[in-house]
Structure 1
Amino acid sequence: MNKSYLNTLLTGAFLCLFTVISAKAQDVVIPVETKDNALVLQVTPDKLLNMVYFGSKLTDKNEYGSIAKMYNFSGTIGSYNNAYTSSGTRNLLEPAIAVTHADGNKSLDLKYVNHTVTKINDDVSLLSIKLKDSVYDFEVTLNYQTYYNEDVTEQWSVITHHEKKDVVLNKYASANLCIKAGGYWLKHYHGDWAQEMQPEEEALNHGIKTIDSKLGTRADLFEPPVFMVSLNKPAGEDEGEVMYGNLEWSGNFRIDFEVDPANNLRLIAGINNFAADYVLKPGVEFTTPKFVYTLSNKGKGEASRNLQSWARNYKIVDGNGPRLTLLNNWESTYFDFNEPKLAGLLKDTKKLGVDMFLLDDGWFGNKYPRNGDHAGLGDWQVNKAKLPNDIAYLVKEAKANDVKFGIWIEPEMVNPKSELYEKHPDWVIKQPQRPELYMRNQLVLDLTNPKVQDFVFGVVDDLFTKNPELAYIKWDCNSIIFNAYSAYEKNQSNFYTDYVFALYKVLDRVRAKYPKVPLMLCSGGGGRVDYGVLKYFTEYWPSDDTEPVERIFIQWENSYFYPALTSSNHVTDWGKQPIKFRVDVAMMGKLGFDIVIGKLKPDELAFCQNAVATYKQFSDEIWHGDQYRLQNPRENDVASIMYVNPAKTSAIMFNYLVSTRYHAGSSAIKLKGLNPDKMYTISELNVFPGRRSTIAEANYSGKFLMTVGVNPDVRDGRASVLIAVKETK
């Protein structure tokens, strides 16, 4: 099969085009191309599959075959650039896969067999490469699914064997990349509750840097599975070569960054093999989670827009659809509420002008009423003392007020003080010989047990069955896994991995029956945010820290990886900033309120009502537009970010004062993403009642706004300023 035919397979417009390619090993060069980039794989004469290139796409595909001889990949020990490095034979570097065969042998030597290319549609193609051990009946299929226009690739592996007895997977990564550059700078994140997404950037030197989680669930609490690697020098917002990565997995993960002796960066991403040797039966396919990545040679901004566009088009539920604004009762009532109080909040929801009222924690439990976080979790009967007329009464009241109704659940968890715990102690994750350890006074249910999966799905299904007009669910997850042990799981080493697979099974059932209902992913803040679980949710909760200045930083860092419409931002009473500042910050993503509307002064209420109307006017730009970060809050007195619609006819610019230093404020800020040849009218939005804007409405060319800029006049007394940019008619 000649190369021109292979090129046709990769670029043709035929739907579901499929072929198998098996040629002389030395003839096989496999380019994986997107609009701007190429990842190139090559088979050696002894049938090893190597990665020889990752960078800008070449004009002449025939030249990909000349790359390997230009680079120094092979060293004194094996091949540094193997596409899926195995353990126990020639390789002595960090492996992507390590196994113990049925006979106890721990070696693996994967050789190329063939590859297939499937054209899914004009944008999406799937390359699958079959590898097989030279001695044992053990196979791995490497999958590379490319999204051509978005410059995004998802990579994963499928592992299977036909040995006589079980094989143990000691490590089983999703992806193994080898990158060649003059230097590498890793930006990754750490944090804790209310301190999510704290960035660190460091040069990668020889040896291994690992970011990982061992928490079981709520796995992102200390370290999320996202990162960026700059090549040759630290990338800027609009210049430099940078790769973004995100492991699509909601449990324990491990990402290794190894600079090898030949100065290549070997990147291995997958499920954490900590306490997780996986026992794999003969004939069973083990599919690893997907690792998604994008490469940009135009800086961090383009990489973000690549990933955000891909997420909206292919990953997020209803990613190109609308979102609901809401009023939540949590910080206004906590657990102390009843029907009359909630009925008043429903009227406030309509008065405010948002779309929906969200009832938070505390609505359930009778034998052990949920009047605090010590009891009731797991007993999903409506609390008759608080809500004698059931949830249906609130749904009806919401409809009477022309708003929708949503509700909070935490179905994966249980309080020891609950009927569920009393009836099913074997459903709880806990070591039988050790004392129970709690986080927020609760334990985690064992989702590997199918009966528990049925129960968790039933919590959701029962709510919708009894209340068909229920419009929204906030799904929380507040505890990590202590004393990991499953009364159901036969192989305890499979538990951490099977738990996440089981969670996805439940969510698959939810989405199969309720495909479009908005679900918010909450996990004590941003404790479980990744594209593995976001495929089931419309939005996530970045942090319980809603102090608006802190939230600017948290939302900013999340904006590198996730689209604005997925970031649930609520106006609360945290912090000392005025209501305008708090609302302006929350409008940077998916707007919600968590305040007592009745305590607002008349001018504050009027401002909030007008702000909701403004938000709805510009919601399409925020939710579906291209995002441009203009000034980083870590480097400037003023943070500035803007969203531009695809037609470049409308944009909204958010500006926030983040410094308290004397005379801190803004000067001219250059806009981005506009059409240089169009004329635009700029004006200030969200002006507080009784105040006058200092921004005169005026017309400027896109060229002027992107070359000279506009000064939003952010300073003490004008700490948040929103600017509308509209094509001049």
Structure 2
Amino acid sequence: MTSYQRWTLRTENTSYTVRLSPDGPWAELDAWGPHGVESGPSALDWSHRTHFITPADAAPAEYLPHGLRPFNGADLVAERTDGERGVWWDFEGAEETEGKLRLAFADETLGLRTVLCYETVPGTDVILRWTEHTASRELRLERLDSAAVNVPVTTGARLTYLTGQWSQEFQLTRLDLTRGTFTMGSTQGVPGHAYVPWLAVQDLATDDAPAYGVALEWPGNWHITAEAEPGGAVRVRAGRVPHEGAVLLAPGATLTTPRLACAFSPDGLDGLSRVWHRYDRHLSGDRLHRTRKVLYNSWEATGFDVDAAGQLELAKTAADIGAELFVVDDGWFTGRRDDTGGLGDWYPDPAAFPQGFDRFVEEVRGLGLDFGLWVEPESVSPGSRLHAEHPDWIYRVDGRPARLVRNQLLLDLGRTDVQDFVIGTLDRLLGSYAIGYLKWDMNRPPTERGRPGAGHVDLDAEHVAGYLRVLDHLRTAHPDVTVEGCAGGGARIDHMTLARTDVVWPSDNTAPLDRLSVQHGFLHAHAPHVMSSWVTDAPGVFDPRPRSLAFRFVNAMCGVLGIGADLRTWTPEERAEAARWIARYKEVRDVLHHGEARLLGSPADATCGVQYDAGARTVVAALSTGRLDGAPLVPGRPDRLRLRGLDPAAHYRDTATGTTYSGAHLLHYGLPFAWSRDHDADLVVLTRG
């Protein structure tokens, strides 16, 4: 029987056990995995391997400050104004309630109290972790991570993460880490295009090993760092990164770090993806069951050349093929003929809408379409009226040039008056016109990030708080408006944003094979019902091989279907085909958005796809990448996509062909596809008999 304190949190399928270390005043991980994993000696007890390091440096610590953990990476670095640096705390006590745990530690000499917070998420296998720091004297926090996660590995860790650049986001990337440190993050004021605040860790010893995952809920600067420590332990730290390098904590003040969502699945990366999907559905709350309408966005058809007549022509064509929502993108407001002007002056251009914008919106809605609008409320054009009236509202450093990015500047959304302006602008637009959809874009990261005269301010945290305040206002004041999150594509996709939006835009790249790769990575971290995806005419950027219109539709139907092509250039045959695909999508979108999704293969395979299961229906979106390493290289032999998670004893009927398969057949041999140059994608609906 153990002599130290121990606490176990239980999710639907997993257990997470924390103990008070027998070697010092800190909490450490005792066990994490399927129910019952906590019974038996801890597999993470490395604390006595302490040659040339301290016990705290060797321990699977949940959270430790510099001072107690001087060598192997601390999660908290605090300094007094007199220069004393380091924390040596004592355990104060624990508060445990159903699904929640709080462990308090205090350093009376330094004047800091830290609480480690844990909370399970009902209906998921996710545990949320964060910390609360309260000062009794002024302190300087140089590092303030949210939590540390320890993963038991035998021969090293396989890290899976999502990388990229603008137009090539969410690329699934792997790294084998046996010794050393891996770190990723962003200081662009948003999670960024280069990395996603998401990481999966598996043991190198076995293929498809159980997967541990973390995701930082923070739409600002961040880092995730994995360290292969002495003795073979792998420890992951994650947290926000202050723009100023440190945060000043005033006497009596409490700083709460972002939440770190921690997930586990015994079924590898594919199983872990379904844990994250379930968590995304939890975050959507009551909004989950709203029908996500088939969207048409006019940007790729007209760009900045927006006028009522041209937009109505597109809207009529979109309605004819079955679209349910028409979104006018950039270019609808005064002074916006290109990307050099107009931002900040959010009034419809009277020259573009001579009969009034309200009349235009009514005509679109008269076609049976909902109406949506694009905005970029954080940015301002130097020549705008807003900039002339409020030059102090932009981020700037006195005596330094104001650098333009995309010909625009960034508003200091951490200021209350700027937040009030944005809220007032959106209230005016949504109150004056029948707008049911709002696309919030952000195309400009902060560069000269300063607020002259404000002193030492936590600008990154204040901007995030302002952004969230505006989104929270939208959700409360305009609950029926669908909100799409976008930042030059997928630069601001995190759980804080997903909790306040309905869909997000993973990438500005809509080329078919490029988009397939983006979506494959995205669906490892996030659910189909939040993934906005369009059918367009865009040629490939990174993979230029042509794909059929069917491929573009099936690929886009893996999430929330939209169309962005110039429909005026499509032939009658193409419009008729589009109408058929949209009709098929509407028949199964409840399965696509609410079912359990399984990723079948990858874009590196000759055939890949996504399987969705809900009730008696299974929908398979299958795509041929065109690689000649399988059928149809051998004539007469179809390629096959093995399904997963079916009942081997049940029978499944293809509703289009009438063919019936046993579950065992589909699991063992797979679903056959006879690809050809003209047939490179299919959507198969199976009903269980």
When the two structures are superposed, what TM-score results if normalisation uses the length of structure 2? Answer: 0.93
Select 1:33's aligned residue among 10, 30, 33.
10
Matched with 1:482 is: 447
Q: What letter matches 1:626 in structure 2?
A: E
Matched with 2:147 is: 175
Q: What letter matches 1:147 in structure 2?
A: V
Contact kept, 8 Å, 1:448 with 1:489, in 2: the verdict is no
Q: Which moved more, 1:265-274 or 1:523-532?
A: 265-274
Distance 1:69 1:82 in 2: 10
Cα distance per residue 1:51-80 (max 9 Å; x no partner)? 23343245386x467666687565532313
Contact kept, 8 Å, 1:317 with 1:538, in 2: the verdict is no
Matched with 1:717 is: 678
Matched with 2:121 is: 147
Q: What letter matches 1:525 in structure 2?
A: G
Distance 2:573 2:617 in 1: 28
SS at the partner of 2:641?
A: coil
Matched with 2:635 is: none
Distance 1:599 1:471 in 2: 28
Matched with 1:354 is: 323
Distance 1:475 1:425 in 2: 23
Select 1:584's aligned residue among 534, 541, 554.
554
Q: What letter matches 2:166 in structure 1?
A: W
Matched with 1:226 is: 198
Cα distance per residue 1:396-427 (max 9 Å; x no partner)? 11221111101000000111121111111110
Matched with 1:629 is: 599
Select 1:126's aligned residue among 79, 100, 122.
100
Whether 1:523 and 2:487 are equivalent positions in the alignment is yes
Contact kept, 8 Å, 2:43 with 2:152, in 1: the verdict is no
SS at the partner of 2:639?
A: coil
Contact kept, 8 Å, 2:215 with 2:261, in 1: the verdict is yes
Matched with 2:62 is: 83
Whether 1:705 and 2:674 are equivalent positions in the alignment is no
**5+ residue gaps, structure 2:** 540-545, 633-637
Alignment of 1:545-556 (within 5 A): 545-556=509-520
Q: Which moved more, 1:306-315 or 1:49-58?
A: 49-58
User: Is the alpha carbon distance of 1:348 and 1:234 closer, same or farther for their aligned partners in structure 2, counting shifts above 3 Å?
Assistant: farther
Whether 1:644 and 2:613 are equivalent positions in the alignment is yes
Whether 1:185 and 2:185 are equivalent positions in the alignment is no
User: Is the alpha carbon distance of 1:489 and 1:682 closer, same or farther for their aligned partners in structure 2, counting shifts above 3 Å?
Assistant: farther
Distance 1:433 1:559 in 2: 46
Shift of 1:314: 3.1
Select 2:500's aligned residue among 536, 547, 550.
536
Q: What letter matches 2:21 in structure 1?
A: T
Quote the sequence identity (%): 27
Contact kept, 8 Å, 1:26 with 1:44, in 2: the verdict is no
Q: What letter matches 1:33 in structure 2?
A: R
Distance 1:487 1:453 in 2: 18
Contact kept, 8 Å, 2:533 with 2:560, in 1: the verdict is yes
Q: Which moved more, 1:350-359 or 1:715-724?
A: 715-724
Shift of 1:272: 1.7
Shift of 1:271: 0.3
Contact kept, 8 Å, 2:160 with 2:172, in 1: the verdict is yes
Whether 1:113 and 2:92 are equivalent positions in the alignment is yes
Whether 1:300 and 2:269 are equivalent positions in the alignment is yes
Q: Which moved more, 1:386-395 or 1:649-658?
A: 386-395
Distance 2:66 2:442 in 1: 37
**5+ residue gaps, structure 1:** 4-24, 120-124, 685-695
SS at the partner of 2:484?
A: strand
Matched with 2:395 is: 429
Select 2:227's aligned residue among 258, 265, 276.
258
Matched with 1:344 is: 313
Q: What letter matches 1:191 in structure 2?
A: G
Matched with 2:543 is: none
Please give the root-mean-square deviation of Cα atoms over the aligned residues, in Å: 2.2
Distance 1:500 1:585 in 2: 33
Cα distance per residue 1:227-265 (max 9 Å; x no partner)? 2111243653xxx11112211111110111111112111
Cα distance per residue 1:621-650 (max 9 Å; x no partner)? 10010011122122x1112211111x2x10
Distance 1:207 1:274 in 2: 26
Whether 1:565 and 2:532 are equivalent positions in the alignment is no
Whether 1:395 and 2:361 are equivalent positions in the alignment is yes
SS at the partner of 1:674?
A: coil
Distance 2:48 2:594 in 1: 43
Select 1:502's aligned residue among 439, 442, 466.
466
Distance 1:312 1:518 in 2: 16
Distance 1:114 1:49 in 2: 11
Whether 1:658 and 2:622 are equivalent positions in the alignment is no
Contact kept, 8 Å, 1:315 with 1:531, in 2: the verdict is no
User: What is the aligned residue count?
Assistant: 674
Whether 1:619 and 2:559 are equivalent positions in the alignment is no
Shift of 1:102: 3.8
Shift of 1:132: 1.2
Distance 2:454 2:524 in 1: 38
Matched with 1:277 is: 246
Shift of 1:462: 1.1
Distance 1:266 1:74 in 2: 16
Write out the 4+ residue segments of structure 1 that deviate beyond 4 Å after TM superposition: 64-75, 662-666
Cα distance per residue 1:578-612 (max 9 Å; x no partner)? 32221121111100011222322222111111111
Cα distance per residue 1:411-463 (max 9 Å; x no partner)? 00111121111111110112222222222111110011110011111221111
Distance 2:490 2:392 in 1: 29
Shift of 1:317: 6.9
Q: Which moved more, 1:558-567 or 1:126-135?
A: 126-135
Distance 2:569 2:511 in 1: 19
User: Is the alpha carbon distance of 1:96 and 1:167 closer, same or farther for their aligned partners in structure 2, counting shifts above 3 Å?
Assistant: same
Matched with 1:245 is: 214
Matched with 2:183 is: 210
Contact kept, 8 Å, 1:208 with 1:257, in 2: the verdict is yes
Select 1:472's aligned residue among 406, 424, 437.
437
SS at the partner of 1:225?
A: strand
SS at the partner of 1:490?
A: coil
Distance 1:511 1:477 in 2: 19
Matched with 1:43 is: 20
SS at the partner of 2:283?
A: helix
Q: What letter matches 2:213 in structure 1?
A: Y
Q: What letter matches 1:84 in structure 2?
A: Y
Shift of 1:389: 3.4
User: Is the alpha carbon distance of 1:619 and 1:674 closer, same or farther for their aligned partners in structure 2, counting shifts above 3 Å?
Assistant: same
Select 1:160's aligned residue among 123, 134, 139.
134
Contact kept, 8 Å, 2:554 with 2:683, in 1: the verdict is yes
Matched with 2:111 is: 137
SS at the partner of 1:224?
A: strand
Contact kept, 8 Å, 1:394 with 1:405, in 2: the verdict is no
Distance 1:431 1:274 in 2: 14
Contact kept, 8 Å, 1:83 with 1:177, in 2: the verdict is yes
User: Is the alpha carbon distance of 1:60 and 1:600 closer, same or farther for their aligned partners in structure 2, counting shifts above 3 Å?
Assistant: closer
Select 2:74's aligned residue among 77, 88, 95.
95
Matched with 1:377 is: 343
Shift of 1:658: 1.3
Q: What letter matches 1:657 in structure 2?
A: S
Q: What letter matches 2:171 in structure 1?
A: Q
Alignment of 1:190-205 (within 5 A): 190-205=163-178
Distance 2:45 2:177 in 1: 25
SS at the partner of 1:245?
A: strand
Q: What letter matches 1:353 in structure 2?
A: G
Q: What letter matches 2:461 in structure 1?
A: T
Contact kept, 8 Å, 2:192 with 2:490, in 1: the verdict is yes
Q: What letter matches 1:713 in structure 2?
A: A
Cα distance per residue 1:661-701 (max 9 Å; x no partner)? 486545222212223333211145xxxxxxxxxxx431122
Distance 1:274 1:403 in 2: 43
Distance 2:629 2:611 in 1: 26
